[in-house]
Amino acid sequence: MASGTFNPRSANFQKQWTLLKAAKVYHAQVVPFLASLEVSNTTVVKFMRVFGRLTSLAEAWPQFNLESLQNTDPELRTFKEKLGQHYLQLAQDSITQRVQQKPAPLMLMRRNKHGTTVSVAVFSIDRTYPKTIDRSLQNALNRSDVWRTVNNSLMRTLVSLDMDCYPRLSVGQVFKEAERLDAGHGPQLDPPPSTADVVRTALVQLQLSCAFGVVEVEKSLHRPLLQRVATLLRWHLKVLRFIDNCFISEACVDFPAEIGELQRHVDRGLHEAQQDSKRGVLMLVLLPMDDWANVGQNSCFLLYPNLHYCSNDESIIINGKLTIGIVINIVSAAIIIRKP
């Protein structure tokens, strides 16, 4: 991409480029490119998880084929180049900054119930495109279905990011439920989420789906929307408050409040998830930012750096614990833990 391979105006443009035909890229070529993006040795794994997830979904979409794009609307011919640049920026932002209170627009691929990439979804607080999408390309996208569905396919997009984690037989059911919610047939959320809440939720789920150890978010997340996402993705949501050096769980319909050590809450959350027939527990931990350093030093929040997939049950296992990520922000944090 850096050499102009996808740029129709570049002398290095390769019209017939495909992922299968691409020349091998060596470590010595990648290092300076990542350095230009301020990707350090300590963040390269997270960067590649995000960029790899985004591009792998895009490459599976026939309309992302470089040669096919050259035979369509002239203003669409730079789509692969510009979206690739957006994905580089999105991956870079994921490792260098928190999810902002007023996040920039993003574009994510959406799959159907069969796992096939079928379209691109735009999420934007003010109906603008990512900065890498120039005016000419915006004009072409405005003539397509893309613009008419801005912010309207959140649930299907979140399932698309998380789809590989479901047993095959349940994907269709989850996707059907996501379609129903995107069509506005579910209960109304109170208060209704803002467009910023929608974009932030998409960004958080992107990073969680890429198995980030820590996802930092400015301000709190929209709780009713978070509950809806947790229910859709088959997580049991458990909320903790950190007060006076204690973790206190919020009571819910089926489970009473409790005070205890973090690990006790984690174990209890897994038990509750099993009782609730969920595939794991999503723990939202509310705490003052001033207390975070203290909590980090005395808990297992940041002790889960080495992730791998377990092929027999599609769980992610970290040092014997079952988990896929942590979300931290000024007033809240979240850990996702899979059950066996």
Report DSSP state, residue 254.
Answer: S
Average pLDDT over residues 154-177: 84
User: What confidence tens digit (pLDDT) does each residue in 311-324 have?
Assistant: 233 333 333 333 33
Environment class of 116 (CB within 10 Å of its CB; exposed 0-12, middle 13-18, buried 19+) = exposed
Look at residue 292 and tell me whether its pLDDT is greater than 50: no
Q: What percent of the chain has pLDDT over 70?
A: 77
Mean pLDDT of 17-29: 72
Residue 38's pLDDT band (boundaries 50, 70, 90)?
confident
Residue 85 confidence (pLDDT): 93
Beta strands in the chain (DSSP E): 106-111, 117-123, 215-217, 235-243, 246-249, 258-260, 280-286, 308-310, 315-318, 321-322, 325-329, 332-338
**Tokens 């900065």, residue?**
131
CB 328 within 8 A of CB 216: yes
**Predicted pLDDT at 193:** 95
d(CA 53, CA 111): 13
Cβ pair 315, 211 in contact under 8 A? no
Q: What is the mean pLDDT of residues 114-124?
A: 93
Q: Which of 34, 45, 96, 54 is nearest to 305 (CA)?
A: 45
pLDDT of residue 237: 82
HEC states along 107-155?
EEEEECCCCCEEEEEEECCCCCCCCCCCHHHHHHHHCCHHHHCCCCCHH
The DSSP secondary-structure symbol of 279 reads: S
Average pLDDT over residues 160-168: 76
Amino acid at position 10, single letter: S
Q: Check residues 150 and 167 and name the one with the higher pLDDT.
A: 150
pLDDT digits (tens, 9 = 90+) for 168-224: 657 889 999 999 999 999 899 999 999 999 999 999 889 888 877 556 777 778 989
- Tell me the domain boundaries of the chain: 1-210, 234-338
Please report, for the chain, how many H helices and E strands are present, in that order: 12, 12
CA angle, corner 311, sides to 306 and 317, nearest 5?
A: 30
Instruction: Establish how many alpha carbons lie within 13 A of residue 316's alpha carbon, considering only the half-sphere containing its beta carbon.
Output: 21
Residue-wise pLDDT for 41-63, tens only, equals 888 888 999 999 999 999 899 88
Residues 61-92 pLDDT 10s: 988 888 888 888 888 889 999 999 999 999 99
Residue with the larger pLDDT of the pair 4 and 207: 207
Average of per-residue pLDDT across 114-128: 93
Choose from 192-206, 259-273, 277-291 the range with maximum mean pLDDT. 192-206
The larger pLDDT score, comparing residue 318 to residue 258, is at 258
Residues 6 or more apart whose CB falls under 8 angstroms from that of 109 comprise: 54, 57, 58, 60, 61, 117, 119, 120, 121, 157, 160
Asked if the model's pLDDT at residue 238 lies above 90, the reply is no
Q: Which of 294, 301, 288 is closest to 337 using CA atoms?
A: 301
d(CA 69, CA 85): 17
Instruction: Out of 4-13, 103-112, 319-328, give the one with best mean pLDDT.
Output: 103-112
Residue pair 99/221 in contact (Cβ under 8 Å)? The answer is no
End-to-end, the C-alpha distance of the chain in Å comes to 41
Model confidence at 20: pLDDT above 80: no
Neighbours of 139 (CB within 10 A): 12
Residue 289 has pLDDT above 60, yes or no: no
- H or E element at residue 27: helix 27-36
